[in-house]
Amino acid sequence: MQFQSLSFLLFLTVVFFTYWRLSPKYRWILLLSAGYLFYSCWNPAYTALLFGATALSYGTALLLEGAQGGRKKVYLWIFVCIQIGTLLLFKYLGFFSEMAAGLLSLFHLSVPLSPIRLLLPVGISFYLFQTLAYVCDVYRGRIRAERHFGYFAAAVAFFPVLLAGPIERIQDLTVQFREEKRFSAKSGWLSLQRILEGYLKKAVIADSLCVYVDTVYADLPAHAGFGLLLAVFFYSLQIYCDFSGYSDIATGTAGLLGISLNPNFAQPYLADSVKNFWRRWHISLTSWFRDYVYIPLGGNRVGAWKAARNILLTFLLSGLWHGAAWTFVFWGLLHGLLQITEQTVKRFLGHIRLPKFVKQLWTFLLVSAAWVFFRAKSPADACYVLSHCMTGFASLGSYLSLGLAALQMQKLQLLLLLFFLVLQACMDIGIEHKGRRALPVWVLAPITTLALFYWLRYGTDPGAFIYFQF
């Protein structure tokens, strides 16, 4: 049941009307049931894994509050090992088995070791990180353990964020679940707008760009020059519209139920440095790694060399979190190195005075180049893209014309797609400077109508959101 499916819209409609007709003290039962029903639509067997992670974290938190001294630390480490072990089993077993086979071949050892791959449960990286954060916060004494298992389980299985985040703090959700809220037409209208914006980003922009990007990466040797460069920039826009579109739909869906989620994106391509980019991109994951990896390692409170090590290790783990492949490892290390370079330059040269739009453009180019490793099937493919995307640039006219010809889009489709890209950029700039505001009906109605026309005429089969694979 994907967000862009009719079955989800029917599911949401039933949940919405039932939720607001129920007494507030029974709404957690509906949310819990809806979460497990929603998750079971992907693979019913893996609801047992979701329940197991929920029960384990709930029980461990209660144990931690009653434990003292060394026993408390033992309970924590047992829990962490089980949670991380589960993630390693389902997500990284194939990657590590391939790595072991490669190492054995270096020593000319003919040990029959075929890669082992298990079906990855959708959303596992998100709800395991969510429960890890909760138990660690209880251990540190930042929050009290939740006593009501129903509220706790409903928070872990809250369907708007269950599959691909944002990684919400469980205590923030349980507090809101207990509040006696009444439906607000104004809040509902803003939430509906947020959902429509998410659908525009995903179904119109991201899925359209995906067609060209997938075509190029499926046969890289057949492309060079501006065609490759377009694929680089298109993927930057695709992954932003895809994932922020998901976050918009999730936030809007939760808002229809009176639940506020923390922002997960803050116009990341308006960042003027790579460090600033990570304060704006996938904010919930960035804050998770900051609070539970970077700061416990010492953060920037240690010497320059150790601080650089902490950044590099944090982004290495972030890369591995996104996927069990060398491309994600390189992507994470590259972002760590870019941040270390920025800090080193600033330390020795001071603050370089450049127009803000120049720094924003430079940051976008760096981030886009790094995304190539994120999208490519192998490091070799990524290097091919980066080394051949400027081929033929000396003859600018043919360089541009050949690349545009490779798009194979009708003129009307290309013009409409450019319109929606410019519209999205204007909306991001407007939010950056003035904050999120409701659009009047006379503006929203024609945009929605035009988007529907585009989707009906040029839309492709809805693909799964990119972050579902993580």
The total of other beta-carbon atoms located within 10 Å of residue 8's CB is 17
b vs e for 350-383, b when ≥16 Cβ sit within 10 Å of the residue's Cβ?
A: eeeeeeeeeebeebbebbbbbbbbbbbeeeebbe
Token pair, residue 84, equals 């991380």
Can you tell me the distance from the alpha carbon of 338 to that of 359, in angstroms, rounded to the nearest whole number? 14
Which residue of the set 322, 335, 388, 433 is catalytic? 322
- C-alpha 194/C-alpha 177 separation (Å) is 21
Tokens describing residue 440: 């009047």
**Using CA atoms, how far apart are residues 166 and 76, in angstroms rounded to an integer?**
24
CA distance 72 to 145: 14
Closest CA to 230 of 457, 421, 65: 421
433 annotated active-site: no
Report how far apart, in Å, the C-alpha atoms of 302 and of each of 9, 18, 296, 336 are.
50, 53, 11, 17
Distance CA 185, CA 158 (A): 22
**Residue 7: Cβ within 10 Å count:** 10
Per-residue DSSP letters for 114-136? -----PPPTTHHHHHHHHHHHHH
Of the chain, the end-to-end C-alpha distance in Å amounts to 17
Can you tell me which residue has the tokens 């998410």?
Answer: 198
Taken in order 428, 433, 437, 441, the sign of the CA dihedral is negative
3-state secondary structure 45-74: HHHHHHHHHHHHHHHHHHHHHHCCHHHHHH
Residues recognised as catalytic? 322
